[in-house]
Structure 1
């Protein structure tokens, strides 16, 4: 599926096309069947023609995978994955959530809008899961827009506490009259997180009242809406997710694609 590009200059768009995508560190499979997908992901992200791309599970580097794929046809990129995936004319912002024995990974934002202040807020709930919020302040149509890229934990109690910490962070760091977009993988299998984020003033993006949830996981047969956007001072005009064998190959998640306007 291909989307038409948004018209106008980056700072004067009346609407924004936004993608949230868990890219599974740019690889698929395990053992001998493990394969490199970062190059295909780059082409796919370019084809979505978004103004903002919010990414989770983004590698800065990984020594083992770099050695494994260095001698393949296209090879492991010399850059961090955020820089590698950024379309021409975009700024990339990356911050690390987790450090492992052979590398590190985190959240990233690819932006066609001018990037201002960047912050990272640790919301790890226990030592086995390192989680963080990437907060990037942008300028859109002469006004601030705060984008938070999130990846919540695997345990429901952890997710509830992370939602509360996100709310506390926004109340402390973002003026109440400025627009906020929170996008990412919320791992909310049981659909119980909306009320906790609503308490922070964030409403889940839907194209219309009562619209069916957009399902993004697993990518081969989507059954769950783990990938979401939550809004403050914005409204969702359209929300969808591309499907098909090509998309299922790239990651275990499908991208979530939204068109947003000021509320």
Structure 2
């Protein structure tokens, strides 16, 4: 079946490619809208993840479960297009991909967090709680990915809404990279940084992380999805070079989440 979200902006990736394709996407817990107009988008998001054709997909705001949403979008009401019976990370993973998920926030009736989907083998999954105050629960998901003949350390992030909190969380992220990842290992840090005022690059540069940018070092906007003006979703790397950046656009993509996905292709340095 033809995937209506399949993008022609990038050619399909291949397992033997010298480039590592990484996507990051805040999926807004698989639903859009409020009140009676709230709709379930998790099934279309599955098509979106497939269309990205990435070696590594870093996801934020991923539901592990939610009792009220499962009842609202029950299978008895909506048939096979109801709430998935498996956690969202497992449901969204294309066939053959490995899955890592860890909870960041426990809320009334459910929990959500960060996830990583990869077509390459995964190492031991780590989780670091970087919650800065009691109103926001945040975490870092750290997963070694065995890509070809090298281990790439991937950290999936979703930072806070308050600048001072984000800065402290970025400092803890930088410390994680400096102190817990081998000095010569390639690193990918991807996610929703909520850094609307563009203040975090310097903190992460101190840990050797460089931001993946578009042509002429341009920042690529991903939020809000309907008319993107802010570069909240980002990829930072160490030991890898960015060769391309892409954000799929159009009404079909804009309806899935309040963020658009960001896709980068990386190659080894040296």
Q: Residue 4 of structure 1: CA displacement?
A: 2.8
Q: Does 1:193 align with 2:197?
A: no
Distance in 2 separating the partners of 1:57 and 1:105: 6
Structure 2 counterpart of 1:213, from 207, 213, 219: 219
Q: Does 1:59 align with 2:66?
A: no
Distance in 2 separating the partners of 1:39 and 1:194: 34
Partner of 1:23: 27
Partner of 1:140: 147
Contact 1:164–1:200, Cα closer than 8 Å, also in 2: no
Q: Residue 160 of structure 1: CA displacement?
A: 0.6
Contact 2:214–2:220, Cα closer than 8 Å, also in 1: no
Q: Residue 93 of structure 1: CA displacement?
A: 0.7
Distance in 1 separating the partners of 2:41 and 2:15: 32
Contact 1:22–1:55, Cα closer than 8 Å, also in 2: yes
Partner of 1:43: 47
Partner of 1:262: 268
Distance in 1 separating the partners of 2:73 and 2:11: 33
Distance in 2 separating the partners of 1:33 and 1:132: 31
Distance in 2 separating the partners of 1:175 and 1:115: 17
Contact 2:64–2:112, Cα closer than 8 Å, also in 1: yes
Partner of 1:177: 184
- Structure 2, gaps ≥5 residues long: 1-6
User: What stretches of structure 1 move > 3 A for 4+ residues in a row?
Assistant: none
Partner of 2:237: 231
Distance in 2 separating the partners of 1:138 and 1:243: 28
Q: Does 1:222 align with 2:228?
A: yes
Structure 2 counterpart of 1:155, from 137, 162, 166: 162
Q: Residue 173 of structure 1: CA displacement?
A: 1.1
Q: Residue 207 of structure 1: CA displacement?
A: 4.0
TM-score normalised over the length of structure 2: 0.94
Distance in 2 separating the partners of 1:241 and 1:142: 29
Q: Does 1:128 align with 2:132?
A: no
Distance in 1 separating the partners of 2:166 and 2:260: 21
Contact 1:95–1:120, Cα closer than 8 Å, also in 2: yes
Question: Residues 179-208 of structure 1, C-alpha deviation per residue, up to 9 Å, x if partnerless?
Answer: 000000000010111111111211101245
Q: Residue 49 of structure 1: CA displacement?
A: 0.9
Distance in 2 separating the partners of 1:34 and 1:72: 14
Partner of 1:34: 38
- Structure 1, gaps ≥5 residues long: none
Distance in 2 separating the partners of 1:126 and 1:24: 22
Task: Report 1:4-19 matches (<5 A).
Answer: 4-9=11-16, 13-19=17-23
Contact 1:182–1:229, Cα closer than 8 Å, also in 2: yes
Secondary structure at the aligned position of 1:154 is classed as coil
Structure 2 counterpart of 1:240, from 221, 241, 246: 246
Question: Residues 228-257 of structure 1, C-alpha deviation per residue, up to 9 Å, x if partnerless?
Answer: 000000110000101111111000000001
Aligned length: 259
Q: Residue 17 of structure 1: CA displacement?
A: 1.1
